[in-house]
Amino acid sequence: MEAIVTADGHRLVVSRFAPPGPCQANVLIAGAMGVRQDYYAPFAESLAARGFAVTTFDYRGMGFSRSGSLRGFDTDIVTWAEQDVDAMVGAARMHDAPLYLVSHSLGGQILGLVPRRHEVDAMFTVASGTGYYKHNKTMPLQVRFLWYVAMPLYTRLFGYFPGKKLRKVGDLPRGVALQWARWCKHPDYIVDEAGRPMREGHANIRIPIFGLSFADDEYIPKVAIDQLHGFYRAADVERRHVEPKEVGARRIGHFGFFKPQYRDSLWPLAAEWLTRQGTAARGA
């Protein structure tokens, strides 16, 4: 692991996965809320073996980028996008080759907020959709309790959201938790404090995007996946919604794609699509 420093002086811990031979493209993995970067390491190693130079990282205040207590730590999701992902877009370009983003959940939501978003040449999203609570018909009572009671109450009580103790999401900085709760209670999801949609950046992105989703995702249903990918209205969006039985699985859910058991069934979907982007670019 190594560290990079963002434009506003925060230290992010990153991991690198180098290809054994020539590099066909750089890949940055932007993870889900509360998921530490080593969860993506087996998938990153698999991509590296196929010729990609892969970088993983943790947002400030999370995972290996966290230093000490979150009480009083000042950040929010917009800062993660504008500072952390922006810095990583530069740091992930290790070779003179295209830069692709593999985004899990939150990672695919916030590309439109990243200042250097136009330096990304393609994006492959996994279980990435909006979090508007009324879309979730699987756990309607649980999501209402989380966004209207648990998250605002415990966050204000502890100075951060103690998700690890509550076995929900994981520990989150105060600003992240409160902003996320506000987004999840709004039908437009990504909104400013006045409730105005923040989608101009999404609408101006003109790259190939592949959205992979799963029928048994308990957190992000298909309607939410469709809503988010509709934000990228100028992009060339391709979608695939997978039933677990299609790949011989009983369950995939919101987090299953990155588990090594799907190395031969699901991971090639990403690797082959990313490879095709390079082939198409060279042909053009």
Express each pLDDT in 14-32 by its tens digit: 999 999 999 999 999 999 9
- Backbone φ/ψ region at 195: left (φ over 0), alpha (ψ -120 to 50), beta: left
Q: Would you say residue 156 has pLDDT above 80?
A: yes
* Per-residue confidence (pLDDT) for residue 244, from 0 to 100: 97
Tell me: the pLDDT tens digits for 228-272?
999 999 999 999 999 999 999 999 999 999 999 999 999 999 999
- Structural domain contains residue 142: no
Among all chains, which residue has been given the structure tokens 């909104």? 191
Alpha-carbon distance of 101 to 109, in angstroms, equals: 12
* Per-residue confidence (pLDDT) for residue 169, from 0 to 100: 87
Q: Would you say residue 283 has pLDDT above 80?
A: no
Q: Which two tokens stand for residue 255?
A: 């987090």
| 14 CB burial (10 A radius; 0-12, 13-18, 19+) | buried
CATH of the domain at 19: 3.40.50.1820
pTM of structure: 0.95
- Structural domain contains residue 154: no
Tell me: the pLDDT tens digits for 179-225?
999 999 999 999 999 999 999 999 999 999 999 999 999 999 999 99
- Structural domain contains residue 14: yes
Confidence of residue 282 (pLDDT cuts 50, 70, 90): low
- Structural domain contains residue 165: no
Nearest 10 degrees: Cα torsion 30, 31, 36, 41: -70
- Structural domain contains residue 106: yes
- Structural domain contains residue 269: yes
Residue 203 three-state SS: helix
- Structural domain contains residue 177: no
Determine the average pLDDT of the residues in 127-140: 95
Name which of 67, 180, 119 is nearest 111 in CA terms. 119
Q: Percent of the chain, pLDDT > 70?
A: 98
| Domain of 71, in residue numbers | 2-131+199-283
How many domains does one find in the chain? Answer: 1
- Structural domain contains residue 159: no
Q: Would you say residue 40 has pLDDT above 90?
A: yes
* Per-residue confidence (pLDDT) for residue 281, from 0 to 100: 59
Sign of CA dihedral 246, 127, 232, 146: positive
Q: Are 64 and 58 in contact (CB under 8 A)?
A: yes
> What stretches of the chain show up as alpha helix (H) in DSSP?
41-49, 77-79, 86-91, 106-109, 140-145, 151-158, 163-166, 174-184, 200-203, 222-231, 267-283
Residue 227: C-alpha distances to residues 13, 129, 257 (Å): 32, 7, 21
Confidence of residue 110 (pLDDT cuts 50, 70, 90): very high
